A and B are shown apart, each in its own frame.
Chain A
Amino acid sequence: MTQINADDVSHVAKLANLSLTDTEIKKFTPQLTKIIDYISELSEVDTKDVEPTSQTTGLTNVTRSDEVVTGNILTQDDALSGTDNAHNGYFKVPAILSERTDK
């Protein structure tokens, strides 16, 4: 039986950028435990020498030519139309203090 405790759930929530309430953590912990326990039954399948499938089309090398397509470019107004938090044509968020985890 896979044991998922509240700390694991909190850790995963942090990775997923979700801020869960204590009630939610309490609710999700047993539910996720049960689901993870169930999906763990895959371990019984022999997959030695089996290639994983991440796409089913069999397509390769699908590319486009390097051309600017002006028809799909959004105007600044359209780009910003989904938010009220804009300033001088920029999206605006509270100051980011923490550095990015990459680059």
Chain B
Amino acid sequence: MKYTPIIGLEVHIEQSTNSKLFCGCPADHFGKKANTQTCPVCLGLPGALPYLNSIAVENILKFGLAFGCDVNEFSKFDRKHYFYPDLPKSYQISQYDLPFCKSGKFRDIHIRRIHLEEDTGKLVHQTVNGDKVSLIDFNRSSVPLMEMVTEPDFHDTDTIVIFLKEVQLIARYLEISNADMEKGSMRLEANISLQTQNSNVKSQNLPDYKVELKNINSFKFLEKAVNAEIIRQQEILDKGEKVDNETRGYDEIKQTTFLQRSKEDAKDYRYFPEPDIPPLSIGKSQISNLKSQIPELPEKKRKRFESEYKLSKDSIDILVSEKSRADYFEEAVKIGQGSPLSAKNIADLMVNKKLDHEYPEPAGLVKKIVELTKVVYSSNDDVENAVKSVLMENVKAVRDYQNGNGNVIGFLIGMVQKELKGKGNTQTVREKLLEKIQK
């Protein structure tokens, strides 16, 4: 039996604001000493109240607009209840029915919604004095987190990787997150099911089950994890059995997925509108103002680099994958105008020689390249050696010359230049050749 994987993603991206979503604690928690960046609000102390960070809202709106989302004119926060030791209030302030952004698109992938919520604390599992314990650090608690939910439009892992890299890139272009999977600032869950391929009729119905796959913590494991789950489901379906709705995790060591929670423990989050945070109304002027702050996005930049500079796809991808490099490139092209340097030369030197890493300023790079092109000729010794070896290998040509065929010199120069990979000064080569032959 043939199957088409039907995959939807839930991508969490932690924002890199100065302060947390609902309090003034620093949001940058990576590598900080445990529980040194908390206050009554994010530690869930009695009597504390949330107060919304305006930049976190602007960030998610920009993020949604970058994906062509509609912004809800009226938005609000809701409390999502569940008990877990890293969730200090027993509810997470999230968004239920009125997320900030909805109905976006990237290439063929539809984005259902993007909402804003607070991150939880972090658990570390350890053995202390012989007891197995879990240790909790609340430094991450209440850091702004965006959750993007896509439609089940993915059918293979390549597309997932391309999409996620783009999500990461856009977050970085907007400077709202480093979206680093290894550091946990971008996290992924995939809802996976398999659709039986009918030979002719294209079935409109999605599979009647889905498996939620969690714990995918790096791009490295992403493909393996998703493929492992696809194979597991295939084997079940091939036996004519049904796949259960459940939540599974990925075991990086065993390279298999394992059951985390079956559907019997149905979730009941008891959402209700957060009474402590007044709702938000987002007007057209605010949206157009935010739109004007969005830089040229990678997809558009790629197209422009192609049409404007005629670069290769690989060069474009590499340059566009870091906004600062793309900007550097264009700056260098601008400065290099009027010099023999072409945009292609600059792109090559950046992509292949990473010369932009040596010269922080594009102007420095251009200057250096121009200088380099002046002293690019091979040394006298190299020329001498090349001439010697060419003359030895072309005894006939030498004889021809000595017999009066002056044209042969051109051929010999070409051979020497070949030896020197084109770096010989033609004048010097000619002189050396003549010097040797005429001896």
A→B interface (CB under 8 Å): 15, 17, 54-55, 57, 59-70, 72-76, 79-80, 87-96, 98-103
Give chain B interface residues in 126-163, CB to chain A under 8 Å: 128, 131-138
Say what secondary structure dominates the interface of chain A: loop
Tell me the bound Cα distance from A90 to B426 in angstroms. 73
Contact B35 A89 (CB under 8 A): yes
- Distance (Å) between the CB of A7 and the closest chain B CB? 15
Contact B120 A103 (CB under 8 A): yes
Tell me the bound Cα distance from A68 to B18 in angstroms. 6
| A-contact 0/1 string along B5-43, CB 8 Å cutoff | 000000010000111000111100000011111111101
| Cβ-based interface call for B339 (8 A) | no
B→A interface (CB under 8 Å): 12, 17-19, 23-26, 33-41, 43, 51-57, 80, 82-87, 90, 92, 120, 123-125, 128, 131-138, 187, 189, 214, 247, 249, 260-261, 265, 267-270, 272-273, 275, 277-281
- Distance (Å) between the CB of B10 and the closest chain A CB? 9
In the complex, what residue of chain B is closest to A90 when comparing beta carbons?
Answer: B135
Contact B40 A72 (CB under 8 A): yes
Tell me the bound Cα distance from A68 to B143 in angstroms. 12
Tell me the bound Cα distance from A90 to B36 in angstroms. 10
CB-CB nearest 8 A-B residue pairs? A69-B24, A90-B135, A66-B55, A63-B54, A95-B132, A54-B273, A59-B278, A91-B136
A-side contacts of B54, CB under 8 Å: 63-66
In the complex, what residue of chain B is closest to A75 when comparing beta carbons?
Answer: B36
Contact B52 A90 (CB under 8 A): no
A90 and B137 in contact, given A15-B270, A54-B273, A61-B280 (Cβ under 8 angstroms): yes
Contact B23 A72 (CB under 8 A): yes
Contact B265 A66 (CB under 8 A): no
B-side contacts of A57, CB under 8 Å: 278
B-side contacts of A76, CB under 8 Å: 33-36
Residue from B25, B120, B125 in contact with A96 in the complex, judged by beta carbons closer than 8 Å: B125
In the complex, what residue of chain B is closest to A52 when comparing beta carbons?
Answer: B273
Tell me the bound Cα distance from A49 to B315 in angstroms. 58
Contact A68 B25 (CB under 8 A): yes
- Distance (Å) between the CB of A78 and the closest chain B CB? 9
In the complex, what residue of chain B is closest to A53 when comparing beta carbons?
Answer: B273
A73 and B25 in contact, given A66-B18, A101-B265 (Cβ under 8 angstroms): yes
- Distance (Å) between the CB of A14 and the closest chain B CB? 10
In the complex, what residue of chain B is closest to A85 when comparing beta carbons?
Answer: B133
In the complex, what residue of chain B is closest to A70 when comparing beta carbons?
Answer: B24
A102 and B38 in contact, given A15-B268, A60-B279, A92-B128 (Cβ under 8 angstroms): no
Tell me the bound Cα distance from A87 to B136 in angstroms. 9
Residue from A68, A70, A93, A103 in contact with B136 in the complex, judged by beta carbons closer than 8 Å: A93
A60 and B40 in contact, given A89-B34, A99-B260, A101-B84 (Cβ under 8 angstroms): no
